[in-house]
Amino acid sequence: MTPIDDHPLRYRLANELHARPFPVAQVPCTVAFLAIKKPGTSQGGDRQDDIAHLINLLDRHGAPHPQPDATHYAGQIGRHWLKWEQHTEFVTFTAISQNVSERAFNPADFEVFPPDWMMASPGQRITSALLRVVPRPEDDVVRNLLPDWFEPESLAVSRVLDDAAICASDFRIDPAGHMRFALFVSDGTGERRVGRIIQRLCEIETYKAMSMLGFARVKSLTPRIGELDQKLTALMGEMTDGGKHPDDMLPQLLKTSTELETISARCSFRFGATGAYEAIVNQRVKVLREERFMGGQSFADFMMRRYDPAMRTVKSTELRLQALSDRAIRAGDLLRTRVDVERSAQNQALLESMDRRADQALRLQHTVEGLSVVAISYYAVSLVSYLLYPLTSTGISKGMLTALVTVPVILAVWVGVRRIRRRLE
């Protein structure tokens, strides 16, 4: 029996769902996280640069290399367990080492990523973080530790995953250049659950930082968008007042419309990515299933107060830009309609002028025809008279003979001219 043919991508797509497992972390441990933003979307040579950068780090520890076309890697490097992931716009490095330093959030914990290696990166750091994962003490002890580690004004802390752990962070960059996250793990929480919490916290920070790139783009564009809005409003006012000719307004309107479309085209990817990253941040916060810790601010509260307004600004700017583009299109349509109406009026006046000229030409033609009949009749009467002069021998005078043939000849000429004109018509 011949087996059914498999789709060539069947196994590859099925394995993709299991390609990026959560890390496994024992308590206590220290996590050093690094996210590098590439100059543009990773294609071709850029992806190879990312892999080469990873191999450089692996070679320093004698670790095996990934596959040439790999987008993820996990393995041991020295005393650290490393997880590397490649995304569309960035790559992430997560290094987990057992035990914690006596000094909380010691910058030396980040030395798994050597400074010269980071300097050789094909991109720029978008975020980095140190996570201190320790057994959970009494709640009063946690409350006393947090003010020493974080800024109380922006501290977010909550119980997560049905009280499996307490997460805390102030989402500020410390003097060493890293974000700080504290994770107090309850007794009985499994290694895999701890790894999932670590992964979620790193993803919240990474996608938050990536989505804020859209906010930075909006802040730089807002002044110019305001100028274009005012210019478009002024053009609409001039169109309403009728003070300028459409030919004078058309170049300004085209220039404004072109600039708006250019801004929209250049920002469309960033706006779309920002919306996608925001959705991931909110989803990752939601799956933590937070509960308040001693009445403090939760991660969801922090995002609602500090993060959501920035994302709403991005969305409102995107909608404003789209509305301006639509207004410019409508203004162009109105201006085009005005030009068409004016041209129709000009064409109507031209047709009326042509009608008057046609009437004048017709009258002139009738006049010429009358004169032509007179001239032809004159010569025709003369010719006929010459032909009939022999009849004067019968006693008819030349004058009488000419008078007798004049009326019939004129009538014949008039009839002939009429027939010719009818044939031409």
pLDDT at 293 over 80: yes
- What crossing angle do the helices spanning 308-388 and 191-241 adopt, rounded to 10°? 40
- Enter the tokens of residue 319: 């909608």
pLDDT of amino acid 271: 94
DSSP helix, strand, coil percent of the chain (3-state; round to 5): 60, 15, 25
Residue-wise over 108-123: b if at least 16 C-beta within 10 A, else e?
Answer: ebbebbeeeebeebbb
pLDDT number for residue 364? 76
Q: Long-range contact list for 385-393, CB < 8 A, 24+ apart?
A: none
| Cα angle: 133, vertex 139, 142; to 5 degrees | 45
What pLDDT, on the 0 to 100 scale, is given for residue 19? 66
Lowest mean pLDDT of 2-11, 302-311, 393-402, name the range. Answer: 393-402
The secondary structure of residue 402, as a DSSP letter, is H
27 pairs with which residues across the strands? none
What's residue 42's pLDDT? 46
- Is 50 exceeded by the pLDDT of residue 224? yes
Instruction: Using the predicted structure, report yes or no on whether residue 344 has a pLDDT greater than 60.
Output: yes
Q: In which band, very low, low, confident or very high, does the pLDDT at 421 lie, cut at 50, 70 and 90?
A: low
Identify the CA nearest to 68 among candidates 83, 94, 50: 50
Residue 351 pLDDT: 82
Q: Distance between CA atoms of 3 and 37, rounded to whole angstroms?
A: 46
> Which pLDDT band holds residue 166 (cuts at 50, 70, 90)?
very high
The predicted pLDDT at position 206 comes to 97
Instruction: Assess contact for 121 and 53: CB atoms under 8 A.
Output: yes
> For residue 231, what are the contacts with CB-CB under 8 A and spacing of at least 6?
252, 256
For 235-240, what is the mean pLDDT? 77
pLDDT at 242: 65
Residue 217 structure tokens? 């783009």
Q: Which helix (H) or strand (E) holds 58?
A: helix 45-60
97-121 pLDDT, tens digit each: 999 999 999 999 999 999 999 999 9
Averaged pLDDT for residues 139-159:
95
Residue 293, classed as helix, strand or coil, is coil
**Number of helices (H), then strands (E), in the chain:** 9, 9
135 phi and psi, to 5 degrees?
Answer: -60, 150
Task: Return d(Cα 7, Cα 65) in angstroms, integer.
Answer: 29
Strands (E), 87-218: 90-98, 124-135, 156-160, 165-169, 179-185
Q: Once rounded to an integer, what is the mean pLDDT over residues 83-90?
A: 92
* Residue 213, pLDDT above cutoff 90: yes
Q: So what's the pLDDT on residue 401?
A: 65
Does residue 165 or residue 359 have the better pLDDT?
A: 165
Q: Over the chain, what is the mean pLDDT?
A: 86
pLDDT digits 0-9 by tens, 23-53: 889 999 999 999 999 876 544 457 888 999 9
3-state secondary structure 189-228: CCHHHHHHHHHHHHHHHHHHHHHHHHHHHHHHHHHHHHHH
Across 289-299, average pLDDT? 93
